[in-house]
Amino acid sequence: MPPRLAWRAAELVEIAGESATARTLCFRVPGWPGHLPGQHVDVRLTADDGYTAQRSYSLAGPADGDLVELTVENFPDGEVSPYLTEVIEVGDQVEVRGPVGGWFVWRPESKAPVLLVAGGSGIVPLMAMIRARRQAGSRVPFRLIYSLRDQDRRFYAEELRRPDPGLDVTYLYTRSAPAGASRPPGRLLLDDLAEGGWPANFEPDCYVCGPTGFVEAAADLLVALGHAPERIRTERFGPTGGS
Amino acid sequence: MSIISRGFHGRRRPDSDRLPPGQYLVDDFPVLSAGPTPQVPLDRWEFAIDTEAEQTHRWSWEEFQALPMETPTADIHCVTKWSKLDTTWEGVSLDVLFEDVETAAEYALIHSYGGYTTNLPLEDLLDGKAWLVHRFDGEDLEPRHGGPARLIVPHLYFWKSAKWVRGIRLLNEDWPGFWETAGYHNYGDPWREQRYEGD
Ligand SMILES: Cc1cc2nc3c(=O)[nH]c(=O)nc-3n(C[C@H](O)[C@H](O)[C@H](O)COP(=O)(O)OP(=O)(O)OC[C@H]3O[C@@H](n4cnc5c(N)ncnc54)[C@H](O)[C@@H]3O)c2cc1C
């Protein structure tokens, strides 16, 4: 029997605003074993009367010693995300266990071109892949298609603006597009994936992450464009979207 | 001893002795899978049980539809922490499918259209514990929820309830499936919180 994945104390060491409704939290987790981009942690919160709640959050960056970075979007009527985006302060503690998930990961030694398709906070594990690529000095070409409501919801805006050779970024706005955007606001369509992605015969590894409905739609469109289902990995951030 | 998160009060939900530890209730029906949703036309659908002695029992869609149906109601528990109570299904008990299957195997490996696999002890499929279902909540099962047909094994985490199921291979030795080789628990009992390897 392998040892149980331990719950570890995680102390918040840094907070950064990420968008109008999200923030990035950096925790110090003594004993953290490291992780691959795309993996996630389980976060456990305990109230003073012993009540607990757990949720999963993707790791936003590649392994960095005992530091673990998460970006959390606020769901106003949620139980956990309002605490992480509004209440918790530097010095406070939560528990984390992980890393979890060995399928939705990108390995820096991989040579295949990569297509990343993000819906909303689904950008988080994909950003970890982009950062890991840069850190490893990988020359593998990446394309990111990032669908979001409006500019205020954009995560990692500064960093994605900086030139990163071999990384192409396309933004798709669903509610309101900024002036000069090349496309009117609307949901992800076949053409968006055909233009911002790779031809299927390049055999890219595709990673799709976001709310369920978005992931369903994007993965179906990729299959329609001829991408092999085995090359399309998905991560669905529940809980809504399916019925 | 767990660590208190200062300022966290949580949202007290009605206590339910039907909720395993670490789970919370949802009313919607989240979807989780590792890749795109496979589309399986009914005229090409088949379900097969392969025994350890290489005997195959096969059902076409029509043959499956002709079997005696049950309408189980079950609570389901996903490893990503949501639970849904009183879900209603329609399908065939695995006991019916196994009526003529002669086997001494102890393990079952479920395999799906799209390549997904998951393993469990054969006894966890029998004695009224599992169903091959094609309807949910009075409607035909949508592809995203595993249609045309999926397995329901309510007493284990929901990843064991394979969607788009295509067959069961009976084995003398246990053979871990897709999530089981990716760090998840081999058995997956929600009441013992067997989420990850080693739990
Ligand atoms: C593997 C995995 C990785 C994840 N990574 C991240 C991440 O990096 N960043 C992040 O912000 N979230 C991530 N999530 C989602 C996260 O786990 C929580 O579901 C989310 O923070 C909401 O929790 P809550 O307790 O605030 O809301 P809950 O109390 O669980 O839900 C309250 C209500 O809010 C709404 N709601 C909650 N979550 C969503 C959603 N994702 N989409 C639409 N509506 C929703 C629903 O109406 C829901 O009924 C991930 C989920 C999974 C499974």
Q: Which domains are seen in chain A, by residue range?
A: 7-100 (2.40.30.10), 114-237 (3.40.50.80)
Looking at the complex, report in whole angstroms how far the Cα of residue B98 sits from the nearest Cα belonging to chain A.
31
Beta strands in B45-174, from DSSP E residues, in sequence order: 46-50, 56-60, 73-77, 82-93, 107-112, 117-121, 131-136, 139-140, 150-152, 165-171
Report, as ranges of residue numbers, the positions in chain A whose pLDDT lies below 70: 1-2, 238-243
User: Dihedrals φ, ψ of A213, to 5°?
Assistant: -60, -40
Q: Given a cut of 70, is residue B15 above it in pLDDT?
A: no
Angle at A138 between CA A135 and CA A141, to 5 degrees: 120
Give the CA dihedral A147, A150, A153, A154, nearest 10 degrees: 60
Task: Compute, in angstroms, the gap from residue A147 CA to the centroid of ligand 1.
Answer: 17
Q: Say which amino acid occupies B9.
A: H
pLDDT for residue A180:
85
Ligand 1, atom 7: nearest CA belongs to which residue?
A: A57
Are the beta carbons of A11 and A96 closer than 8 angstroms?
no
- Reported as type and span, the H/E element at residue A196 is helix A190-196
CA distance to partner chain A, nearest, from residue B32 (Å): 6
Q: What is the distance in A from the centroid of ligand 1 to the CA of A135?
A: 29
A178 lines ligand 1 (CB under 6 A): no
A184 — contact with chain B (CB < 8 Å)?
Answer: no
The answer to whether the CB of A73 is under 6 A from ligand 1 is yes
Question: How many angstroms separate the Cα of A192 from the Cα of each of A124, A208, B43?
Answer: 21, 14, 33
> Residue A214 carries which side chain, given as an amino acid letter?
F
Sheet holding B46-50, edge to edge: B56-60, B46-50, B165-171, B107-112, B117-121
- CB nearest to B10's CB, from A79, A101, A233: A79
Distance CA B63, CA B149 (A): 13
What are B152's two structure tokens?
């329901």
Helix H segments across chain B? 61-65, 94-97
Residues of B with CB under 8 A from a CB of A: 2-12, 22, 24, 26, 28-38, 78, 80-82, 114-115, 144-145, 178-179, 181-183, 195-199
User: What is the CA(A57)–ligand 1 centre distance, in A?
Assistant: 9
| pLDDT score, position A241 | 34
Pairing mode of beta strands B165-171, B150-152: unpaired
DSSP A55-113: EEEE--SS-BTTEEEEEEE--TT-SSHHIIIII--TT-EEEEEEEE-SSS---TT--S-
Q: Tell me if chain B has a CB within 8 Å of the CB of A55.
A: yes
Give the nearest chain B residue to A12 (CA atoms). B5
Q: Compute, in degrees rounded to 10, the torsion defined by CA atoms B62, B64, B70, B76.
A: -120
Average pLDDT over residues B108-133: 96
The Cα diameter of chain A in Å comes to 58
- For the segment B132-154, the average pLDDT, to the nearest whole number, is 95
Q: Do B196 and A54 touch (CB under 8 A)?
A: no
Residues of A in contact with B3 (CB under 8 A): 9, 46, 93-95
Closest C-alpha to ligand 1, atom 44: A240
**Which tens digit of pLDDT belongs to each residue from A55-88?**
999 999 999 999 999 999 999 889 999 999 999 9
Q: How many CB pairs under 8 A join A and B?
A: 137
Q: Which residues contact A82 (CB under 8 A, 6 or more apart)?
A: A74, A75, A76
Q: What is the pTM of this model?
A: 0.86
pLDDT value, residue A243: 26
Work out the mean pLDDT of chain B and round it to a whole number: 93
Longest dimension (CA), chain B: 60
Whether B82 sits inside 8 A of A88 (CB atoms) is no
- How many other C-beta atoms are found inside a 10 Å radius of the C-beta of residue A222? 26
Contact A232 B35 (CB under 8 A): yes
Does the pLDDT of residue B14 top 70, yes or no? no
* B58-98 pLDDT tens trace: 999 999 999 999 999 999 999 988 999 999 999 999 999 99
CB contact under 8 A, B3 and A93: yes
Tell me: pLDDT of B32 over 80: no
Is A47 within 8 Å of chain B by CB? yes
Answer yes or no: are the C-beta atoms of A173 and A184 closer than 8 Å. no
Report the residue from B9, B78, B115 with minimal CB separation from A47: B9
List phi, psi (to 5°) of B168.
-130, 130
Q: How far apart are CA A85 and CA A62, in angstroms?
A: 22
Q: pLDDT value at position B24?
A: 87
